[in-house]
Amino acid sequence: MAAVGVFALAALVLSCKCDSVEKPSDATGAGTGSEAERSGPAAASAGSEAPGGGAGAAVSLPDSCEEELLIRPLHSGDIYASFQFRTLWDTDFLHQGKKVSHYRLFPKSLGQVLSKFSVRELHISFTQGYWRTMQWGQPIVPSPPGAELWVWFHNTVADVDGNWKELTNVLSGIFCASLNFIDSTNTVQPSASFKPLGLGNATDHRFLRYATLPREIVCTENLTPWKKLLPCGSKAGLAVLMKSEKLFHSSFHSQAVHIRPVCKDWQCSSTAWELRQTLNVVFDLYTSGQGKKEWSLFKMFSRTLTEACPLASSSKVYVDVTDNPEGELFDLSPATSVLNTAVVLGDRRTYSVYDLTQKETFGQLRSLNLVLRWKGESGDMLRPLLHAERYVAGFGLQTGEIHTLIYNNHPYRAFPVLLLDSVPWYLRLYIHTLTVTSKTRENKPSYIHYQPSKDRLRPHLLEMLVQLPPHSVTEVTVQFERALLKWTEYTPDPNHGFYVGSSVISALVPSVVAMDTNNTQERPLFSSFFPTKEESSYFVRVYTEPLLVNLPTPDFSMPYNVICLTCTVVAVGYGSFYNLLTRTFQVEEPSQPLAKRLANVIRRIRGVPLL
């Protein structure tokens, strides 16, 4: 019965029927009609002709791409910048399985990977830092610290594990990351938490693989290959802003690649591959701005915008001005009258829109440098409706307890969440100690999927569906024992500790405002990542912090000392013994005196015996 419940929810969470996904593909067939619709709210905008032209160009060619930058001043005073690049590839090897050899905008390296490994959907993210939900609100595209990879394979694939192994190695090469460390000990097959985001209604989780590498450190060498996948590279368009020394001088950095099949038009008569590349950065103005709250594109990226990517059908910069309707909080220059309203994560937000495909945007200086000056202190942020944290309790190196706290800050609505926990085998979970409590009362999960670990083979997988009462904290605790590893299994720095990946909490959070389910209308890219199915709720995924756990670690210097000592003893002992045993001792004749030798010489000559 429980299983039925969860599948119902899973279907609710992310049922990916055609009608829910057709919306992103609208832009492909970007007719002037939809363009007009989009500029509807911004009727005052003068420039409906230029994007029309761009779209016209896109219509004639099969592939298309869009780029977009969202800038949101956060309540904490930080600046959140979110890039999204979407490339659509009008090919249909999803159904026919034919070889495709023609690439235009879609990167060939990824296209070949898709066809070779029969990938249906691929999501990969590299994140450095932890998204601070309590200060920053919900992110546009959530991701856990480190690397995360989840892939749906076609249901025709026979050897999923083999494909997965090869795929991770190939991706590791493409992104210059340690994805080759993904093996069976950190791969799981979640039964409900990760449903396909694109076309198709796959439910058989045998074709899903999910893995995280919480230790992965993201740096420039991961950014460069990521930039190379963009149609314009980092030569033109928004991508010129991506200077790595600025992007990595931030509080949070996350880059991701999402590939999924989508409908080309709203009837879903044909499908296309969608490649979404996202880059999310949070800049800390306190450290970089010497306490002054003022930012500009130049300050953040040490670049300004001069042109759109010529290949892109749409290229826009959105600045979130919801908190600043009268301009009392900050000044934004150059001012724009083009406003756009979108419902994002259960909240109606207003954005100033800068269309880079129009000449007027750049002004006389031929460059766009957005400047935002704070005037007053921003008010308090609304508490995010859902957030979570996790920690290890207890002390000593034998046992411990993992606590996961899930906060529902909604004043009167209860809602269910799916919790996914993947714990490495060397923390032996005592599943009988699993308790779920809300408001000091036991809260029995309606669905639990637990897959016990196998030593050195596979991790624990714990998935459950928990109903969160309104305005409450739900605490999930489970005790564990720390295993003693074999001495070769320790990492080179065992005293650093061992990582346990983030738990994943997926939920349909009740929305305050009606969500936009009208998928025929074109919306900004950032509001269309997760398909919305119903008006009353929106999908949120929350990642907790990873854990660093110390395992009992032997003193590795001691074997070294012992080896040194024994080697010395053996060398000295063996050497002298060997010497003693193998040497033959002979009594050496003392050398004869000179007179005797002379006498012998004479005797030899005479032929008489020597003395």
Partner 1 sequence: MGLLSDPNRRKALTSLLTRLNTPIWGMPVEWLVKTMQARGLEVFTQSFTRTLPFPDENKERYMVRGTNIYGILRAPRAPRTEALVLSAPCSPDNSNNQAVGLLLGLAQYFRSQIYWAKDIIFLVNEHDLIGMQAWLEGYHHTNITGMDYTPLQGRAGSIQAALSLELSSDVITSLDLVLEGLNGQLPNLDLANLFHAFCQKIGVLCTIQGKLQRGDWDTAEGYTHAVQTMMLMVLKQASGRPWGDHGLFLRYHIEAASVRGINSFRQYKTDATTIGRLLEGMFRKLNNLLERLHQSYFFYLMPSLTHFVSIGYYMPAFGLLATILLLRALDLWVQLGTPAQVTEDGAGEVEPPSSPGVLSVLTPVVISHLTGVALYTLPVLSQETAVEHFPVSETEAVVLTAIAIYTAGLALPHNTHRFISGEGTEQGWRVLKLVALLYLAVLLGCTALINFSLGFILAITLVPAAACVTPHMPKALTALAMVLLSPGCTLLYCVFIFQELQEAPVTLPEGWMLFLSVISQGILDHSLYGSLVYPLLALLIYPCWLLLWNILFWK
Q: How far apart are CA 231 and CA 208, in angstroms?
A: 29
493 binds partner 1, rule: CB under 8 A: yes
565 binds partner 1, rule: CB under 8 A: no
SS3 state of residue 180: helix
Q: How far apart are CA 115 and CA 273, in angstroms?
A: 12
37 binds partner 1, rule: CB under 8 A: no
The alpha-carbon radius of gyration of the chain (Å, integer) is 33
250 binds partner 1, rule: CB under 8 A: yes
394 binds partner 1, rule: CB under 8 A: yes
Q: Of 153, 194, 252, 330, which lies in the binding site for partner 1, with binding defined by CB under 8 A?
A: 252
Is the Cβ of residue 499 or residue 526 nearer to partner 1 in the bound state? 499
Cβ neighbours of residue 309 closer than 8 Å, sequence gap 6 or more: 65, 67, 230, 231, 232, 236, 237, 238, 239, 315
Is the Cβ of residue 131 or residue 447 nearer to partner 1 in the bound state? 131
Q: Which stretch binds partner 1 (CB under 8 A): 64-72, 448-456, 479-487, 545-553?
A: 545-553
Closest separation between CB of residue 561 and partner 1, Å?
Answer: 12
Q: How far apart are CA 507 and CA 524, in angstroms?
A: 23
Q: Which stretch binds partner 1 (CB under 8 A): 97-105, 262-270, 389-397, 461-469?
A: 389-397
287 binds partner 1, rule: CB under 8 A: yes
Q: Of 7, 93, 181, 286, which lies in the binding site for partner 1, with binding defined by CB under 8 A?
A: 286
509 binds partner 1, rule: CB under 8 A: no
85 binds partner 1, rule: CB under 8 A: no
Q: CA 65 → CA 29, 56, 243, 313, 322, distances in Å?
A: 12, 13, 22, 6, 28
What's the DSSP call for residue 360? G
Closest separation between CB of residue 557 and partner 1, Å?
Answer: 7
548 binds partner 1, rule: CB under 8 A: yes
Contact in structure between 41 and 223 (CB atoms under 8 Å)? no
Segment 142-161, which members bind partner 1 (CB under 8 A)? 145-146
495 binds partner 1, rule: CB under 8 A: yes
Q: Of 16, 27, 332, 547, which lies in the binding site for partner 1, with binding defined by CB under 8 A?
A: 547
Q: Of 7, 93, 103, 248, which lies in the binding site for partner 1, with binding defined by CB under 8 A?
A: 248
Q: How many of the other CB atoms lie within 10 Å of CB of 501?
A: 28
In the block, which residue shows the tokens 């305005």? Answer: 471
Show the tokens assigned to 536.
Answer: 């009353």
Contact in structure between 542 and 386 (CB atoms under 8 Å)? yes
Q: How far apart are CA 340 and CA 40, in angstroms?
A: 9
Q: Of 123, 276, 546, 551, which lies in the binding site for partner 1, with binding defined by CB under 8 A?
A: 546
Is the Cβ of residue 290 or residue 582 nearer to partner 1 in the bound state? 290
Closest separation between CB of residue 395 and partner 1, Å?
Answer: 5
Phi, psi (degrees; rounded to nearest 5) at 237:
80, -155
Q: Of 220, 375, 391, 433, which lies in the binding site for partner 1, with binding defined by CB under 8 A?
A: 391
Q: How far apart are CA 587 and CA 70, in angstroms?
A: 97
Q: How far apart are CA 537 and CA 383, in angstroms?
A: 17
Q: Which stretch binds partner 1 (CB under 8 A): 24-32, 233-241, 359-367, 395-403?
A: 395-403
Q: How far apart are CA 21 and CA 527, in angstroms?
A: 13
Q: Which stretch binds partner 1 (CB under 8 A): 30-38, 319-327, 388-396, 595-603?
A: 388-396
In the block, which residue shows the tokens 């307890």? Answer: 401
Is the Cβ of residue 129 or residue 334 nearer to partner 1 in the bound state? 129
Contact in structure between 498 and 424 (CB atoms under 8 Å)? yes
Q: CA 288 → CA 158, 218, 292, 294, distances in Å?
A: 53, 21, 9, 10
Phi, psi (degrees; rounded to nearest 5) at 604:
-60, -40
* SS3 assignment for 509-570: EECCCCCCCCCCCCCCHHHCCCCCCCCCEEEEEEECCCEEECCCCCCCHHHHHHHHHHHHHH
497 binds partner 1, rule: CB under 8 A: yes
Q: Of 17, 165, 246, 249, which lies in the binding site for partner 1, with binding defined by CB under 8 A?
A: 249
Q: Of 4, 8, 382, 393, which lies in the binding site for partner 1, with binding defined by CB under 8 A?
A: 393
SS3 state of residue 431: strand
Is the Cβ of residue 250 or residue 357 nearer to partner 1 in the bound state? 250
Q: Of 7, 130, 181, 298, which lies in the binding site for partner 1, with binding defined by CB under 8 A?
A: 130
Segment 256-285, which members bind partner 1 (CB under 8 A)? 284
545 binds partner 1, rule: CB under 8 A: yes
Q: Which stretch binds partner 1 (CB under 8 A): 157-165, 548-556, 566-574, 602-610?
A: 548-556
In the block, which residue shows the tokens 């015996």? Answer: 609
The residues that bridge with 126 in the sheet, in sequence order, are 147, 255
Q: How far apart are CA 398 and CA 481, in angstroms?
A: 6
Q: Site residues (CB under 8 A) for partner 1?
A: 128-130, 132, 134-135, 145-146, 214, 248-253, 284, 286-288, 290-291, 389, 391-397, 401, 403, 493-497, 499, 545-550, 553, 555, 557
